[in-house]
Amino acid sequence: MSVVGLALMVMLLGAVRADATAPGPVLVMGDSLSAGYGIDADAAWPRLLEARLREEGYRHSVINASISGETSAGGARRLPALLDEHTPALVIVALGANDGLRGFDVAEMRRNLAAMLHGARDAGAGVVLVRMRIPPNYGPRYTAAFESVFEDVAAASDTVLAPFMLERFAANREAFQRDGLHPVAAVQDDIVATLWPSIHAALEAAGETPAP
């Protein structure tokens, strides 16, 4: 074998070893708020989260499995196959908004979210549940029942509960696209900043540490 061929083989073996020791990815299960609706996919907060992970010394990649219009039922159906395929170190569940906006049964949403959290835990992943909110015009009873689901499910499964991802700019009309629902690219960093303390806590709880 030539010297060049031997050098290439050494490089390839090194790459294989690096891949073998790379940590599992962070899997984001969300709806249009996470899928980057109306903006470039590279500007959506899950992609920016990957950059934040690198800045903090973590080597995890981010897989954005979010789908516009997704509900908790859809997420619960898709998650098992995604866990098998990607073996994530951390799963971020950011679903429920479409359940609420469509007036779906709160008890069913509770069951779906609980199934996702327990399924991720059973697969060996850390978990973050992102709190969701809906407009008050759905009535105080439904709104209160909807919002209580996130605290109850997180507490029952000992899961890190992250704040509402839009809370830093929810009152700022200029932070949203013309539909008034989906944030513009300029505030995606604010979403990462809002979620980061919870994501960091979940990574630590799962035994994930920054690279030395």
Distance CA(192)–CA(180), nearest Å, equals 20
pLDDT of residue 69: 97
Average pLDDT over residues 117-129: 98
Distance CA(69)–CA(135), nearest Å, equals 17
pLDDT of residue 21: 74
Strands 90-94 and 62-64: unpaired
Checking if the pLDDT of 18 tops 50, the result is: no
pLDDT of residue 9: 56
Distance CA(136)–CA(182), nearest Å, equals 18
pLDDT of residue 184: 98
Average pLDDT over residues 104-109: 98
pLDDT of residue 212: 77
Catalytic (active-site) positions:
32, 179, 182
pLDDT of residue 13: 52
Distance CA(172)–CA(164), nearest Å, equals 15
Average pLDDT over residues 187-195: 98
Amino acid in the structure at residue 47: R
Helix (H) or strand (E) holding 149: helix 140-156
Q: Is residue 168 part of a domain?
A: yes
Q: Is residue 212 part of a domain?
A: no
Task: Give me the number of domains the chain comprises.
Answer: 1
Cα 72 → chain centroid:
13
Give the range among 14-23, 67-76, 147-156 with minimum mean pLDDT: 14-23
The band of 12, judged by pLDDT with boundaries at 50, 70 and 90, is low
The band of 4, judged by pLDDT with boundaries at 50, 70 and 90, is very low
Q: Is residue 210 part of a domain?
A: no
Checking if the pLDDT of 2 tops 80, the result is: no
Q: Is residue 2 part of a domain?
A: no
Average pLDDT over residues 179-204: 97
The band of 15, judged by pLDDT with boundaries at 50, 70 and 90, is very low
**In which domain, by residue range, is 71 found?**
24-205
Checking if the pLDDT of 86 tops 90, the result is: yes
pLDDT of residue 8: 52
pLDDT of residue 158: 94
Going from the C-alpha of 55 to that of each of 52, 89, 97, 132, 147, the distances in angstroms are: 5, 18, 30, 27, 33
Q: Is residue 179 part of a domain?
A: yes
Q: Is residue 185 part of a domain?
A: yes
Distance CA(52)–CA(45), nearest Å, equals 10
The neighbouring-strand residues paired with 28 are 64, 92
Rg of the Cα atoms in the chain? 19
Average pLDDT over residues 58-74: 98
Q: Is residue 1 part of a domain?
A: no
Q: Is residue 140 part of a domain?
A: yes
Query: What does pTM read for this prediction?
Result: 0.90
Kindly report the CATH number assigned to the domain that includes residue 87. Answer: 3.40.50.1110
Distance CA(23)–CA(89), nearest Å, equals 7
